[in-house]
Amino acid sequence: MKFFGSGHGACPGCGLTIAVKNTLEALNGKCFVANPTGCLEIISSQYGRNAWGVPYIHSLFENVAAVAAGIDAALKAMGRRDEGKIVVFAGDGATADIGIGTLSGAMDRNHNIIYICLDNEAYQNTGHQQSGLTPPGEATTTTPVGKIFPGKIGKKKDMVAFALAHGCPYVATSSVAFPADIRRKVKKAASIEGFAYIQIHSSCVTGWGIDGNQSIEVARLAVETGLYPIVEYENGKLVSVRKIKDRKPVIEYLKVQRRFRHLLKHPKGKEIIERLQQIADENAKKYGLDG
Ligand SMILES: Cc1ncc(C[n+]2csc(CCOP(=O)(O)OP(=O)(O)O)c2C)c(N)n1
Ligand SMILES: [Mg+2]
């Protein structure tokens, strides 16, 4: 594999590498990658074990969108814009929490960037702390399950709405369970001038508490239950939705992962499961997922 390959130290079954490989292949390696601190950086850029076959820069956790914006401005000033797209690969913590200020600025200035949020739903690199994209009910080290709390009680931030509110010309979600969908959306994003935000649901074997060989199956269940709708917006208009034939109850997704399994026996688990089912039902209604 020439764009991303040997040298990386990801867990077998890691979703991040699936998202990265498909993105780089869709662009035929014609890109400049910026990547803040997080699992992807740790598994791919250690001294002597670089896995990148494309230009790559590691930024701080909080400033990747500003670094990418700088690359955009520099390429423009040098008349080298046609040499490749600028691609950010950032975790959910970097995107929804720590780097959200510079992300807002880059979206607002509508830089020519494909920003990919690798959403594994927690700060996985540091051992599974909650982020703004951790869903309700998830047990993390900062939302531990106890007598009173059944895991996270807050909500998952709606970063799609955040990107749309900034007027980004291209906004989409995808999942590592559907590599062809990732490739199509990356190609589409590359054809559009301006800021593209793509949020890819990426399984995390250790954080989610699954086996490596369940990675795709569990990511697919998130989509098939309606909990992770796969959608696409162009210039603020919904242009595509991945339909679900027989939508499964959310419990099918929850019960196969250690991060949610406590919900089956915790006194407040039923309430959280009902809330997650309600979120899935509302997604189905909002996007017309059933069909
Ligand atoms: C400003 C700052 N805060 C905290 C850290 C510690 N830290 C390094 S990686 C990481 C987790 C990254 O989470 P996320 O962005 O979701 O990426 P993931 O590892 O889950 O792919 C944290 C908290 C740091 N390096 N810099
Ligand atoms: Mg994460």
What pLDDT is stored for residue 24 in this prediction? 98
Helix or strand (DSSP H, E) at 172: strand 170-175
What pLDDT is stored for residue 6 in this prediction? 82
What pLDDT is stored for residue 1 in this prediction? 54
CB atoms within 10 A of CB 222: 22
What pLDDT is stored for residue 7 in this prediction? 84
Q: Ion ligand 2 — residues with CB under 5 Å?
A: 91-92, 120, 124
The ligand that comes nearest to the alpha carbon of residue 37 is: 1
Which residue has its alpha carbon closest to ligand 1 atom 6?
126
Pairing between β-strand 56-58 and β-strand 85-91 as defined by DSSP bridges: unpaired
Burial class of residue 131, CB neighbours in 10 A (0-12, 13-18, 19+): buried
**Ligand 1 centroid distance, CA of 89 (Å):** 13
Distance, in Å, from the CA atom of 264 to the CA atom of 249, rounded to the nearest integer, reads 14
Q: Are the C-beta atoms of residues 230 and 173 closer than 8 Å to each other?
A: yes
Contacts of 165 (CB under 8 A, 6+ apart): none
Distance, in Å, from the CA atom of 240 to the CA atom of 238, rounded to the nearest integer, reads 6
Distance, in Å, from the CA atom of 120 to the CA atom of 154, rounded to the nearest integer, reads 17
What pLDDT is stored for residue 13 in this prediction? 96
The CATH class, in words, for 15-287 is alpha beta
In ligand 1, the atom with minimum distance to the C-alpha of 120 is 20
Q: What is the DSSP letter of 290?
A: B
pLDDT tens for each residue of the chain, 291 residues long: 589 988 899 999 999 999 999 999 999 999 999 999 999 999 999 888 899 999 999 999 999 999 999 999 999 999 999 999 999 999 999 999 999 999 999 999 999 999 999 999 999 999 999 999 999 999 999 999 999 999 999 999 999 999 999 999 999 999 999 999 999 999 999 999 999 999 999 999 999 999 999 999 999 999 999 999 999 999 999 999 999 999 999 999 999 999 999 999 999 999 999 999 999 999 999 999 998
Ligand 1 contacts (CB < 6 A) are: 37-40, 61-62, 91-94, 98, 118, 120, 123-126, 131
